[in-house]
Amino acid sequence: MLWKGFQRPKRVEIDTESLTPTYGKFSAQPFERGFATTVGNALRRCLLSSIEGAAATAVQIEGVLHEFSSIPGVKEDVTDVVLNLKQIPIRLHSDEPRIMTLDVSGPKDVKAGDLGGDPQIEICDPELHLATVNEEGRLRMQVQVQRGRGYVTADKNVDESLGIGWVPLDSVHSPVKRVNYRVETARVGRMTDYEKLTMEVWTNGTITPEEAVSLASTLLKEHLSIFIAAEDAARGIEATGASEASEADVLLARNLEEFDLSVRTANCLKNASIQTLRDLVSRSEKDILEIKNFGKKSLEELQELLGRLGLAFGMDVQGGADLGA
């Protein structure tokens, strides 16, 4: 049997004494030599890059046209205010972009908790400093918040539906701030050539370290499952029913999440229940543009993707498609 004589970790131990909502220490043993490093590195990369979170993606400040302006009556300039906005740990209970608002007069030390206007947005550090308004000053602004993964550049956060005066921001969506892991020698009976994996995870408080590790592990498991299915197919076991599908059908069945689409485009398609390439190409460009908050830039992004794959909008794919046509 495949696992005969092969040591695997039995459970994950959590250091409850040091556990906080933003820090967790986890350990597992025994691993066969080399496996602790393999698992630790994969989990670390997944934790830092692939866990979804919310962040500020655009801002509109009254009287300000660009990011390098000053704000009358406010100590900080726009750049400083934007940097402070990016530090706010946000929990968004919606798949769609939402708007926070702020309208304060001085003198006042403006904090993240002063932002409001949407019950779907939860600020996890309301005491975070945003700006200092003097006696004669007034600060009015709106902030767009949306979900995403990793680092997103400002040009991908452009939202044409917001109108004039909005400044797109580069955004860091990952709720995981830092991950360390180390590998030590572990003993099983008299044998000492096994390994122990210890991981430390720091988050921004929007998710707990336990949740982050669980999500990263699930994501890795789902990616590896296709190789298990491939082995089953080689043994003559029908794992997914796709072994007899044509090359075109396999391509059209691919989920759009596999492609590097901008956060806004991905969210619009998800809200319209367009999940696969088949769903996408079966619609016309007119149908796509009628999706709420979907703009011309997002359409051009999809046209480029389909052209690269040899596909187009408005294809008849009900009975399969011939990509060579």
Range of the domain at 287: 247-309
Q: How many domains does the chain have?
A: 3
- CATH classification of the domain holding 95: 2.170.120.12
**Among 11, 26, 32, residue whose Cα is nearest residue 185:** 32
Specify whether 47 is located in the same domain as 182.
Answer: yes
Is 139 domain-assigned? yes
What pLDDT does residue 237 have?
A: 47
Does the CA dihedral 286-290-291-292 come out positive or negative? Answer: positive
Is 88 domain-assigned? yes
- Token pair of 282, please? 């079966």
Specify whether 126 is located in the same domain as 162.
Answer: yes
Specify whether 70 is located in the same domain as 140.
Answer: yes
What is the widest separation between alpha-carbon atoms in the chain? Answer: 78
Mean pLDDT (whole number) for 160-189: 92
198 or 270, higher pLDDT: 198
Specify whether 97 is located in the same domain as 115.
Answer: yes
Domain end marker among 151, 170, 189: 170
Is 123 domain-assigned? yes
Interval 240-299: pLDDT, tens: 444 445 677 778 888 888 888 888 888 889 888 898 998 899 999 888 998 988 888 888
Lowest mean per-residue pLDDT among 70-74, 202-206, 237-241, 265-269: 237-241
Is 111 domain-assigned? yes
Specify whether 198 is located in the same domain as 282.
Answer: no
Specify whether 275 is located in the same domain as 131.
Answer: no
Specify whether 145 is located in the same domain as 40.
Answer: no
Specify whether 150 is located in the same domain as 132.
Answer: yes
Interval 213-244: pLDDT, tens: 999 999 999 888 877 766 555 555 444 444 44
- Token pair of 113, please? 């908790």
Specify whether 59 is located in the same domain as 165.
Answer: yes
Specify whether 69 is located in the same domain as 46.
Answer: no
- The fraction of the chain above a pLDDT of 70, given in percent, is 90
Specify whether 196 is located in the same domain as 292.
Answer: no
- Specify the 3-state DSSP secondary structure of 133: strand
In sequence order, what E strands does 66-190 have?
Answer: 90-92, 98-105, 108-111, 121-123, 129-133, 138-149, 151-152, 167-168, 171-172, 176-188
Is 76 domain-assigned? yes
Kindly tell me if the per-residue pLDDT of 150 is higher than 70. yes
Threshold 0.85, pTM exceeds: no
Specify whether 218 is located in the same domain as 81.
Answer: no
Q: Could you tell me if 179 and 47 are in contact, meaning their C-beta atoms sit under 8 angstroms apart?
A: yes
- The fraction of the chain above a pLDDT of 90, given in percent, is 57
Is 242 domain-assigned? no
Residues linked to residue 248 through DSSP beta bridges, in sequence order: none
- CATH classification of the domain holding 305: 1.10.150.20
Is 205 domain-assigned? yes
Cα separation, 161 vs 149, whole angstroms: 22
Is 323 domain-assigned? no
Mean pLDDT score of the chain: 88
Cα separation, 189 vs 253, whole angstroms: 49
What pLDDT does residue 82 have?
A: 95
Kindly tell me if the per-residue pLDDT of 54 is higher than 70. yes
Domain end marker among 152, 170, 188: 170
